[in-house]
Structure 1
Amino acid sequence: MKTAALRAPQLMLLLLATLAVAALAAIEAEGDVGAHRATAERAMRDYLAVAGRDAVDAVADAATAEATVALAPAAGPRASSPYDLLPPPEVLARPTATPLACPTDGATAFARLDLRDGTLAATGAPGRDSTLARWLHDTLTAVVTNGEARAATPGGMPVGIVFGRGPGPGAGRAVVYGVKRAPFDAPIAVYGVVTCAAALGPALVARAASANAALAPTLADSLLVLTAGDDGVGHEDAAAPVARARVGGLEVRAWAGPGAQRRLVVRRGSGPRLALLGVLAAVTASLAFLALAQLGREQDLVRLRADFTSSVSHELRTPLAQILLYGETLALGRARSDGERRAAAETIVREARRLMQMVENVLHVARAERRANGVSPNTLALAPLVGEVAAGFAPLAAAASATVLVALPGALSVRAEAGALRQVLLNLLDNAVRYGPPGQVVRVGGAYAARGAVRLWVDDQGPGVPPRDRERIFAPFVRLARDRVARDHGEASRPGSGLGLAVVRDLVALHGGRVWVEDAPGGGARFVVELPNGDVPDGEVPDGEVPNGDLARGRA
């Protein structure tokens, strides 16, 4: 009672401090919301700038590519001489659909300006209308000197787009042009496709979106709005575009779309927060007691996981280094004899088995946390399976200067899954070898037990397990305090991940059995596994007795 009374003021102070911190956190959160929104807006602007640049470049590339394809029959081939005959403009007419064609029938025309004598040849409306022909002549003459044409490839045909302005004959028209050149890049003619200005830009944007898989979703989500048209018309009252590019007189612009604003999910709160603070205070007071209890457990968990990470890193590095070393020895032919090659191969196999055992333990613990483990028990003869596991473990035991002796009744059988029981035995043998001294003998034994069960045990000659830790060591990531103290003081500590015994307990429990640790008769620790008995008739073997004449002894 006195202790509780002393703790009450401390707890009250803790609650008041927690409430004060919660109130300050709520006030500070209001300011953080604004800061987060500003950060999100900056991130969105940066994204739109990058995406906008890619988008306008894609449309500009589409415009250049379409102009190159459309004008290539006439302007594409470089003339062999400045005096070559020029192809007529009619060769530019194509029966297939193209974004350069005007939707109105008969509105698309083709023209050729011979720069050597200044003559214009045209089809369609320019061929019948002298005023339109004069505008087209002046327009194609000007594009040669403005230097705005661009080529799809280095050294290719320069192409561009120019728009008609004002109420004159060029109103509503656009000319897609290409410059035909002679040797030494001398321009000798300009070919043009006269089309509708209003339809050209949207058609090029649609063509770029269909050809660019990354651009289409951005436009579909309205993150960007693309426009393509006359560089001197429109958008005077709009916000500045995030990116732009030009192909002659065609300017491609990218604007932040309405979808960009919808993506900003950080919003400012509104209204009084007294109710929120009251609820927060009540919840804080209710959870403070639980928090105090959980704090110690959380600290233990952090320490256990830190120990696990350190231990597993060491456990993985050692066998991997051995595998790499002896693998390189074999690969580079450094082994000088068959004996050395066999020893290298045996080392690789031994260390690979260690890695496999560790991986199986980690996977089992992960499945256990998801409750995804299960077993399919069968009746198993125990002696052959234990002998097989001991023989396979022998190289690992020999590496630690340990010997494994097996003594089991020959007719002993259990109800278990073979793979799970192998993993149980491997983990117990590995634990015994780790915590026993060099040169020790690890003994594996078994006997019938009461209540229709079979007991299997593994004895080592190590320091044993203190009684206070005998239940705790079966929890995941747990290692004894003496090992942590040795590690913290820089002394040699026994390696281990803290998972092996946890896996043993879980697998045994899945079989309806139990596992515990006790003192071994000759000193050290004895780990005992009790499993359901196999197909043995009642009364054939008395409970707890082992037939002395029926021991199958083996040495690994």
Structure 2
Amino acid sequence: AFWPLAAIFAAALLVVGRRMVRQMTEPLQAMEQAAERMAEGRYEADIPVRSDDEIGRLAEAFNQMADAIAKEDERKREFLANVSHELRTPLSYMKGYSEALLAGLAKTKEEEKAYLRLIHRETERMERLVRDLLDLARLEGQSVPLERAPVAFAQVIEDVIATYEPIAAQKRIELACELDYDIIVNGDADRLEQVVRNLLDNAIRYTPEGGVVTVRLSRLSEAEGELVVQDTGKGIPKDQLPFLGQRFFRVDRARTRKEGGTGLGLAIVKQIVSLHDGVIWFDSDLGRGMTVFVRLPLVREEE
């Protein structure tokens, strides 16, 4: 009686053992195959997770890693596509007008000057785009550390407003400001100036003649201050607000290109604000202008 029972027990152990080995090896084989596909640039992975042990957790982690790599790859592809698209327009203008000049198609000196002005305009646009791209890459990679020091933020804002007053006057736009001069931010003065410049530049650019741009700096608490930049431009629809600050996002692509925007200004602003441990958000309705809110931590008096 012993040997038949032993044979049955051994057979059962063999079946269970094979099942356990298969349960362990199948995910490992799937991971090996997925790793080979990833080496070829295909990042999809759907490793079966059939247990809650080390193998199961490894398979789950592998799936998460593959998903993260796939998303990053898609983000890079989208970024490169956007850069190519943004560069294509000024390059085509420059090529077309330079060929026209070389072919002698400009009949008068005035036409030649007009072509040269267009080439110069597109060159400046490319220069701004490349500069903004490099700036954003440095900020995102934190390769340029912030030079933190106590900054009188109101003075920074006032200096920026002074540089924009002639532009606003030319468009007959009123620049109004309400600034709390006691607000001190522990930050990088140059980067904070860049935030104000980008926000003010956008506000003036999209505000029609006779409009108003208002800049307010106020203290919300001992620990937090708020910068508000408000314009009376055409605004944007509510459903577009979540996309503000994404690279190359424009509500009106054709109009923004004509006005010289690169679609990167708000992305740079968001990155700088984030590096200062602050937050930024937007409020707008189509036809009633845009309001940008920036909240930053302040230097406390006891500090």
Structure 2 residues not aligned, in runs of 5+: 1-31, 46-66, 95-123
Q: TM-score, normalised by structure 1?
A: 0.33
Whether 1:530 aligns to 2:295 is yes
Contact map agreement 1:377 1:511 (CA 8 A) in 2? no
Q: Alpha-carbon deviation of 1:426?
A: 0.4
Q: For 1:496, what is the secondary structure of its paired residue?
A: coil
Q: Verify the 8 A CA contact 1:454 1:531 in the aligned structure 2.
A: yes
1:417 lines up with 2:188 in the alignment: yes
Q: 1:519 aligns with which of 275, 284, 301?
A: 284
Q: Which amino acid is 2:277 matched to?
A: G
CA–CA separation in structure 2 for the residues paired with 1:311 and 1:426: 26
Structure possessing the higher relative contact order (Cα contacts under 8 Å, 6 or more residues apart): 2
CA–CA distance in 2 between the matches of 1:426 and 1:502?
A: 13
For 1:418 and 1:509, the matched residues in 2 are separated by 15
Q: Which residue of 2 aligns with 1:210?
A: none
Separation in 1, partners of 2:158, 2:125: 18
Identify the residue that residue 373 of structure 1 maps to in structure 2. 144
- The structure whose Rg is larger is 1
Q: Which has the higher helix share?
A: 2
SS at match of 1:361: helix
Aligned-residue RMSD, C-alpha: 4.1
* Larger strand percent: 1
Whichever residue aligns with residue 271 of structure 2, its letter is D
Q: Relative to 1, partners in 2 of residues 1:307 and 1:530: Cα closer, same or farther, differing over 3 Å?
A: farther
Alignment of structure 1 residues 185-334 onto 2, 5 Å: 283=37, 287-288=43-44, 300-309=78-87
Contact 2:241 2:284 in 1 (8 A): no
For residues 482-509 of structure 1, the C-alpha deviation after alignment (integer angstroms, 9 at most, x for no partner) is: x13x56xxx9854310111111111111
Q: Which residue of 2 aligns with 1:461?
A: 232
Following TM superposition, by how much is the alpha carbon of 1:370 offset from its aligned partner in structure 2, in angstroms? 3.9
State whether residues 474 and 502 of structure 1, in contact with CA within 8 Å, keep that contact through their aligned partners in structure 2. yes
CA distance in 2, matches of 1:286, 1:299: 13
Match of 1:497? 262
C-alpha distance in 2, partners of 1:402/1:296? Answer: 42
- The answer on 1:477 being equivalent to 2:240 is no
Deviations 1:290-317 (Å, cap 9, x if unpaired)? 7997897577435522443257779x9x
| 2-structure distance, mates of 1:527, 1:371 | 24
CA displacement 1:20-72 (0-9 Å, x = unmatched): xxxxxxxxxxxxxxxxxxxxxxxxxxxxxxxxxxxxxxxxxxxxxxxxxxxxx
Which of 209, 212, 226 aligns to 1:438? It is 209
Q: Report if aligned partners of 1:405, 1:443 keep a CA contact under 8 Å in 2.
A: yes
Whole-Å Cα distance in 1 between the matches of residues 157 and 41 of structure 2?
A: 57
Counterpart check, 1:509 vs 2:293: no
Equivalent position of 2:163 in the other structure:
392
Deviations 1:124-165 (A, max 9, x none): xxxxxxxxxxxxxxxxxxxxxxxxxxxxxxxxxxxxxxxxxx
Hey, what's the Cα distance between the residues in 2 that align with 1:461 and 1:431? 12
Query: Gaps (5+ residues) in structure 1?
Result: 1-277, 317-352, 539-556
Judging changes above 3 Å, is the alpha-carbon distance between structure 1 residues 512 and 526 closer, same or farther for their aligned structure 2 residues? Answer: same
**With structure 2 as the length reference, what TM-score do the two structures score?**
0.58
Q: Distance in 1 between matches of 2:200 and 2:218?
A: 18
CA shift for structure 1 position 467: 3.2
